[in-house]
Amino acid sequence: MKKDLRSHWSLRKVMAGNGMLYPILGFASCVVFIYMSFGDLKLSRFPREQGLSFVERNGTRFFLDGKPLYVNGWNSYWLMGHSVEENTRPKVSAMFQAGAKMGLTVCRTWAFNDGGYNALQISPGQFDERVFKALDYVIAEARQHGIRLLLSLVNNLQPYGGKTQYVNWAWQEGIGLSSSNDSFFFDPTIRKYFKSYILTVLTRKNTITGIEYRNDPTIFAWELINEPRCITDPSGDTLQDWLEEMTAFVKSIDKNHLLTIGLEGFYGPKSPKKSTVNPEHWASALGSDFMRNSNITHVDFTSVHIYADQWFHHLGFEEKRTYVSKWMRSHIEDCDKELKKPVMFTEYGLSDQNKDYQPAQRELLYRTILDIIYKSAKKKGSGAGALVWQFFVEGMAEYSDDFGIVPWESPSIYKLTVEHSCRLARIQGLLQENENFKQLCSKRK
């Protein structure tokens, strides 16, 4: 899927000026000093009192330090996997550095890998500490670059394990109720597996920063599951019950962070918009329902994906672009008037494998999407942000898909991204108080 930077864990600053040439400190003082200087080198670069605040929600908007927050961000699902080995970690640093240079503030990434190669969770409740330390690194490195993370906890799809792996685990132990992937949502044993996973991740103490994940404001929010569907129960009752239970469980452990579901945004079988806004009839029979699911008390903001080129195969590009505007405005209207929560378009993209694809189409579609976010933000509406799927750095072709972009290799997308970051920064008043945005946007007024 979707430059070689030196590691941030250099010891040079710690080693400099340690004062050990001053014997008048006395033996006890020296011992204390040596411990403080060398005893926990990893923590020294990340003081607990660094002053980051948690992102909060008030009505239909995000707030940070009492001021409205609008998000321009991206997806890089691969960060944890590339942080396991020392030789691939520089790509993670490079990606965060590039995001910060474009004025991006939130990155969505996987906080899961269940079973398989470099699995975080090897089997139910059993974790690979190497991989957990890789996730520690991702969070610490994001903090270093001023990026916050939207961390997804499980996949509805099979890549990186997903609900299929949970079902297989229960089946292999002879205690699974069904071999259906959807038993992930109703099997009591599998629910216990997933709750155990949630508890372990949220209470994890970062080995680099010393901060428990649930207490780290570097994490923008938790996403419960990527693109949940339960097609064996199109009524939506099974998924709704699971969501109510799991969102309450997350909040019982972590009251600091925002929580979203990870929905695609389709309207359910009882929604009047199933035939007027959904792409086609199949979208209302997936067991999910944007309005019903998002209205759960513990869900702080709604999530929507945008893939018109995957949903329609008979429409031309301009027709799809028109549909995207309708799709977005519908969800913003829902959140403005009924749900009274922010909406994040947490994935949007355009495949370069479409038969009629032309490179200029990406800029046109992405500009359409970002313009709608900007207009909502200007009106203090619920359109709180969008995250492009997906960004990479050079040399990652084997991890990319037909949506992947190396930003600096696509000048039009790079320029559009920076422009959008700057206009959101102006709305938030960041140009006066944030030196990075002041420099980035000074030439774009």
Question: 409 CB contacts (<8 Å, ≥6 apart)?
Answer: 394
Asked if 407 and 367 touch (Cβ cutoff 8 Å), the reply is no
* Cα 226 from chain centre: 10
d(CA 209, CA 194): 26
Asked if 165 and 115 touch (Cβ cutoff 8 Å), the reply is yes
d(CA 165, CA 156): 10
Task: For residue 134, count other CB atoms closer than 10 A to its CB.
Answer: 23
Catalytic-labelled residue, pool 141, 223, 227, 419: 227
Rg (CA), the chain: 23
Taking alpha carbons only, the member of 413, 424, 415, 360 closest to residue 388 is 413
Residue 419 annotated to the active site = no
- DSSP assignment string, 359-426: HHHHHHHHHHHHHHHHHHHHTT-SEEEEEEE-B--TT-TTT--TT-B-GGG-HHHHHHHHHHHHHHHH
Taking alpha carbons only, the member of 234, 46, 214 closest to residue 141 is 46
Asked if 193 and 187 touch (Cβ cutoff 8 Å), the reply is no
d(CA 413, CA 106): 17
Residue entry with tokens 């008979």 = 314
Cis check for the bond before 165: say yes or no (omega within 30 of 0). Answer: no
d(CA 213, CA 378): 33
Structure-block tokens of residue 275:
């035939």
Catalytic-labelled residue, pool 141, 264, 333, 347: 347
Asked if 140 and 254 touch (Cβ cutoff 8 Å), the reply is no
Enumerate the active-site residues. Answer: 227, 347
